[in-house]
């Protein structure tokens, strides 16, 4: 008997079948799915071989759970959307100078449209709390952000000096993208263009809504 790494023909069949099934259906097969499609005479035969595969670490099983078969390692990760390169973030809406951002906490990030984010822009492991907004108007053109661009923002309420943030200026009820500087007891919001004047205000009057981590632009 080859206890080592050798799989019986039937075990290989089953493993391949599970992979294909998940790919096709989006959920794992039941023992009887395997039995029927692979023309195995009994469910216990399937169960026996699944246990072998489990012992060898090729699959994981949640006992007592229907369709509780999951693939191990690479296959698993790939199916989980860690698909190597890019990830996805919700496109929550439009940012226009003068209008407040929707509160990401209150927006349905689940049902929102999602857009791809290349790993070259934001690595997948840093994609937490990142959302996207489409820019309307050219109010942020000094920050190299044009009308129609999609900006990627990581939701955070604090900022380091020099970071580009989406700041809500409370007494004006307006949101703009500016570089953030904390200078003594006041805040300086600096446009990227020296032709425009910076905004000086108190910390209480500024609510950071997120930091700009990326820009996507289509010129078609």
Partner DNA sequence: CCTCTTGACGCACAAGTGTTTTGTTTGCTA
Partner DNA sequence: TAGCAAACAAAACACTTGTGCGTCAAGAGG
Out of 44, 73, 158, 173, name the contact with DNA by CB under 7 A. Answer: 44
Task: Indicate the DSSP class of residue 172.
Answer: G
- The verdict on 213 binding a second copy (CB under 8 A) reads yes
Out of 38, 45, 47, 119, name the contact with a second copy by CB under 8 A. Answer: 119
Q: How far apart are the first and last CA of the chain?
A: 63
d(CA 170, CA 44): 67
Catalytic residue among 139, 179, 194, 202: 139
Helix (H) or strand (E) holding 117: strand 114-117
The edge-to-edge listing of strands for the beta sheet with 130-136 is: 114-117, 87-96, 130-136, 150-154
178 an active-site residue?
yes
**Binder of residue 170, out of a second copy, DNA, none (CB less than 5 to 8 A by kind):** none
Out of 56, 67, 136, 207, name the contact with DNA by CB under 7 A. Answer: 67
* Binding to DNA in span 172-191, by CB under 7 A: none
d(CA 74, CA 97): 45
139 an active-site residue?
yes
3-state SS class at 99: coil
* Per rule CB under 7 A, count of chain residues that contact DNA: 25
Q: How far is the CB of 80 from a second copy (least distance, A)?
A: 6
């Amino acid at each position: 008997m080859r206890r080592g790494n050798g799989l019986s023909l039937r075990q290989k069949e089953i493993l391949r079948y599970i992979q294909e099934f998940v790919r096709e259906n989006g959920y794992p097969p039941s023992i009887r799915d395997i039995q029927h499609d692979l023309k195995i005479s009994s469910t216990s035969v399937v169960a026996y071989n699944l246990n072998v595969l489990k012992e060898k670490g090729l699959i994981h099983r949640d006992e007592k759970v229907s369709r509780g078969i999951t693939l191990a390692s690479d296959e698993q990760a790939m199916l989980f959307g860690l698909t190597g390169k890019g990830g996805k973030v919700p496109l929550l809406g439009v940012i226009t100078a003068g209008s407040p951002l929707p509160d990401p906490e209150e927006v349905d990030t689940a049902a929102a449209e999602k857009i791809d984010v290349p790993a070259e822009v934001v690595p997948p492991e840093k994609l937490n709390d990142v959302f996207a907004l489409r820019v309307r108007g050219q109010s942020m053109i000094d920050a190299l952000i044009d009308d129609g661009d999609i900006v990627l923002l990581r939701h955070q309420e604090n900022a380091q000096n020099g970071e580009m943030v989406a700041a809500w200026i409370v007494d004006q009820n307006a949101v703009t993208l500016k570089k953030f500087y904390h200078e003594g007891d006041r805040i300086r919001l600096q446009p990227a263009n020296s032709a425009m004047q910076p905004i000086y205000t108190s910390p209480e009057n500024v609510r950071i809504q997120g930091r700009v981590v990326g820009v996507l632009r289509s010129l078609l």
